[in-house]
Chain A
Amino acid sequence: MSSATPVTEAIVFRWHRAAITAIAPVTPHVTSVRLRCPLAETYRAGQHVDVRLTAEDGYQAQRSYSIASAPDGSGTLELLIEGLPDGEVSGWFTGIAAVGDQVELRGPIGGSFSWDGPDGGPVLLGGGGSGVVPLLAMLRRRAQGWREIPAALIYSVRTRAEAIALTELERLAAEDASFSLHLATTREPGGKRIDAALVADALRRTGPPGKVFLCGSNRFVAAASDLIVAAGVAPGIIRTERFGA
């Protein structure tokens, strides 16, 4: 591994209590949850946390969620949680949770799928649906002081209304010449899926990438990987995260 991914033999993930400081829906299916937690200052953009909920009788459920924020000194971090049909944990966040409620977090987890300014670029990002969340964290990190590093985000989403942080991303693309947004809306009239032309367009904007991060469904990540490798990018610089069930 390159110096981009610190390798430590003494990483220990402990459970920390976390209190919700803000919660609000951001799209029809996704809720933003901001949590105050000690590990809010220790993560790298792109990493995820394990979240544990405990019922009164001690029954527990755990899920993993990507962190959407970049470390900002506030002592809090943001999760963007997609409500799934019958989601045991996501259903609590989207339907019941309120400011002041407590959950437990541990992490940050996932060192190979993370980015910070000193890792350099150019950075090519590809997100499908809520797979954009860890990539959003990377872009927010870049915006904190690394805007000279070229970056492009290919974002595949069903409709504009379902796109997470679309206003923020479009504003960034408008004001930052080194960042480009390449939206593929798969269920809009005139929309399309990710294809070779979209990848070529993104690569034209960034130049040959030094880092590629892809996150989304297996179908999206497989399609994006194939297109990016076909465009001449070395498979060894591509990092992926996929969500299943």
Chain B
Amino acid sequence: MPNIGTVLLTRLSFGAFVRPHMTGLGGLTWGVPPHHTGSIGRAAEAGMVTRGFVGRRQPPETGARLPPGQYLTDDFPILQIGPNPTVDRATWQFTLREGSRPIKTWSWEAFEALPRTTWNGDIHCVTKWSKFDTAWEGVSFDDLLADAGIAAPTPFLLAESYDDYTTNVPVADLVGGQALVATRYAGQPIHPDHGGPARLFVPHLYFWKSAKWVKGLRFTKTDTAGFWELRGYHMYGDPWREQRYTGD
């Protein structure tokens, strides 16, 4: 079993259709490789020890849910490159594009009418904090494609935000119930500090991939670096393989 805690997808539009989040993912995304069950080992092998450092060990059930190098927080820290952009739901739009060509655009009203998906589980930020048992709701990537009447035209995309932030995610990491365009957190509309009205939500990758204030997804022919990826952050960003930066 993956050490990820309770991870469930619920399709609200179809009543109590509940499925384990792992289904159809080949187990890879949520599985914890046996050699990454904690942060123990690598530097000790290299002989590096910090004199007098003991550390605060987590209870086993907490430690098993923490990717390497992460610590648990009860807060919800806020990290972004600039001020919150002003995003009004009355003029908000979300657009799927293939390169420069728009495929489909939704207004807020149309977006909110799409089938809803909920997700409960743990999120991991590259700045080392993890937060357990978070609850999100939005429109799954699968339902977006279905409503647009398309299959993904390329294997990669860039999420684009109202503050001109971008981040790349492979399509393979979005399909099969792995990702949402989230509009609610903990049962409430997402606060602008946390990316509201809508943010991309890809919880199995470091949280910089879950672009705040998202305004669209642009399919790209190649895996194209976004804002942080151009600045040394990892192109993929798997917390369980501790892919924080290029070369990790």
Interface residues of A, Cβ cutoff 8 Å to B: 5, 7-15, 17, 50, 52-64, 86, 88, 92, 96-97, 101-104, 106, 109-113, 218, 222, 225-226, 229, 235-236, 238-245
Contacts and interface: CB of A to CB of B under 8 A. Distances in A.
A13 B246 contact: yes
A63 B183 CA distance: 30
B43 A244 contact: no
Contact of B52 (A59, A60, A96, A226): A96
Interface residues of B, number: 47
A52 B43 contact: yes
Given A57-B44, A103-B50, A11 B83 contact: no
Nearest to B72: A245
A132 B203 CA distance: 32
Nearest to A58: B44
Contacts, number: 143
Interface string B10-39: 000000000000000000000000000011
A59 B40 contact: yes
Given A57-B40, A58-B41, A235-B83, A7 B231 contact: yes
Given A13-B247, A54-B50, A101-B50, 17 more contacts: A8-B232, A53-B50, A54-B48, A55-B49, A59-B57, A60-B42, A61-B55, A96-B53, A102-B51, A104-B48, A109-B245, A235-B85, A239-B81, A241-B79, A243-B77, A244-B79, A245-B75
Nearest to B232: A11
A54 B79 contact: no
B121 interface: no
A8 B74 CA distance: 35
B172 interface: no
B179 to A, nearest CB: 24
Given A11-B245, A55-B53, A111-B232, A17 B77 contact: no
Contacts of A239: 81-82
6 contacts: A11-B246, A13-B232, A61-B55, A101-B51, A112-B231, A244-B78
- Centre residue among B56, B57, B75 by max chain A CB count within 10 A: B56
A54 B49 contact: yes
B80 interface: yes
A92 B53 contact: yes
A86 B56 contact: yes
Interface in B195-248: 225, 227, 230-232, 244-247
A134 B59 CA distance: 35
A55 B55 contact: yes
